[in-house]
Amino acid sequence: MATPLTAAKMLAVLKAEGLTVHEHAGWKTHNRDSATGKSFGPVHGVLIHHTAGHNDREVCFNGRTGLPGPLCHGWLGQTAGLWMIGHGRANHAGLVDGDVIHALVAESSPLPKDDRADTDGNDCLYGLEIENLGNGKDPYPAAQYRQAVLWAAAICRAHGWSERSVAGHKEVQPGKIDPSFDMDVFRADVKKQLATKPGATAATPPPSASKPKVDLSRLITAAKTDPGAKQGHVTYLAGTNLVEAALVKLGYLARTYAGDGSFGSTTVTAYGRWQYHLGYRGTDANGIPGQKSLVELGKKSGLFTVVA
């Protein structure tokens, strides 16, 4: 339970989380408060939707017949980025299950089944509409999904909430199916983001007397798991971030690819270049870390030591 963020604060926290934010003209005063006589807040959580359409930013701003806009607070295009649509009460949640709202307030898990529609969700939930057909075939590009995670994390961070203050529309209103991705996975991704510093692009470990340690076997697991897993999959957050920071420092990895804790294919390629630099060839330079190359990377960068 919390007082809604001001428009200025909302903008600031989204940008601080690393998002590029586009502002629809008029969004700061676009809401349903005066028309309904009901004001927005206190707020209890963030709600994720898919739009079930394409090119629907203006629909989300203006609304549709029988449902005046704004239909959300933020609209996230498949490729058009994040747009601010409304500020205050928005027509996105509708009547939802009060038990689920109570669970969001308590941040209890798992959420109870949504089997009633007895509470006005527009009073108390921030809403993000993600442009997607929601048919299970329309892809959520990695960059779009990542922005959704950042949007939810930014608001949770600003309110001091955990990922348990995040829900999908399908989890709060009976009959809803949006969003079409797994909300437990989404919450796990928000949790990972909340464990980082907002806007962090590369983890530069704080100076300390003893250097942090990277566990070789966990790192190998990450390098073998993350590239084939869902975009942004994180197996070994701390170790991967250290290794990526080292690869950035030595010029083998672009900064934009570092710091998300995922040992993705770009990191594997970068590590392979480091192995090549050390004189390894063929499968010895396949980007999967080995003892000698990792120890050398820790030494040369000065960022970590290795435990096997």
The answer to whether 69 touches 27, Cβ cutoff 8 Å, is no
Query: Among the residues of 17-97, which ranges form H helices?
Result: 33-36, 57-62
Shortest distance in whole angstroms from residue 226 CB to Zn ion: 31
Q: Which is nearer to Zn ion, 49 or 164 (CB)?
A: 49
Q: Widest CA span of the chain, in angstroms? A: 71
Q: Which is nearer to Zn ion, 51 or 275 (CB)?
A: 51
Q: From the list 24, 49, 57, 146, which residue makes contact with Zn ion (rule: CB under 5 A)?
A: 49
Shortest distance in whole angstroms from residue 295 CB to Zn ion: 51
Looking from the CA of 128 toward its CB, the CA atoms found within 13 Å total 28
Q: Which is nearer to Zn ion, 8 or 177 (CB)?
A: 177
22 — phi, psi (to 5°)? Answer: -100, 140
The answer to whether 307 touches 215, Cβ cutoff 8 Å, is yes
Shortest distance in whole angstroms from residue 43 CB to Zn ion: 17
Shortest distance in whole angstroms from residue 179 CB to Zn ion: 8
Chain mean position to CA 274: 30
How many residues bind Zn ion (CB under 5 A)? The answer is: 3
Q: Which is nearer to Zn ion, 169 or 192 (CB)?
A: 169
Range in contact with Zn ion (rule: CB under 5 A) among 45-53, 114-122, 159-167, 185-193: 45-53
Q: Which is nearer to Zn ion, 52 or 250 (CB)?
A: 52
Two structure tokens written together for 188: 């796990």
Range in contact with Zn ion (rule: CB under 5 A) among 165-173, 224-232, 233-241, 247-255: 165-173
Shortest distance in whole angstroms from residue 40 CB to Zn ion: 17
Range in contact with Zn ion (rule: CB under 5 A) among 83-91, 103-111, 150-158, 164-172: 164-172
C-beta pairs of 283-289 under 8 Å, 24+ apart in sequence: 287/223, 288/220, 288/223, 288/224, 289/216, 289/219, 289/220, 289/223, 289/243
Q: Looking only at residues 176 through 195 of this chain, which bind Zn ion when binding is defined by CB under 5 A? A: 178
Range in contact with Zn ion (rule: CB under 5 A) among 72-80, 140-148, 166-174, 183-191: 166-174
The answer to whether 224 touches 240, Cβ cutoff 8 Å, is no
Q: Which residues contact 209 (CB under 8 A, 6 or more apart)?
A: none
Shortest distance in whole angstroms from residue 252 CB to Zn ion: 43
Shortest distance in whole angstroms from residue 109 CB to Zn ion: 21
Find the helix packing angle between 216-225 and 237-249, rounded to 10°.
90
Q: Which is nearer to Zn ion, 96 or 203 (CB)?
A: 96
Residue 141, preceding bond cis, omega within 30 degrees?
no
Q: How many secondary structure helices (H) and strands (E) does the chain include?
A: 11, 12
Q: Which is nearer to Zn ion, 49 or 73 (CB)?
A: 49
Residue 169 interacts with Zn ion (CB under 5 A)? Answer: yes
Shortest distance in whole angstroms from residue 84 CB to Zn ion: 18
Contacts with Zn ion, residue ranges (CB under 5 A): 49, 169, 178
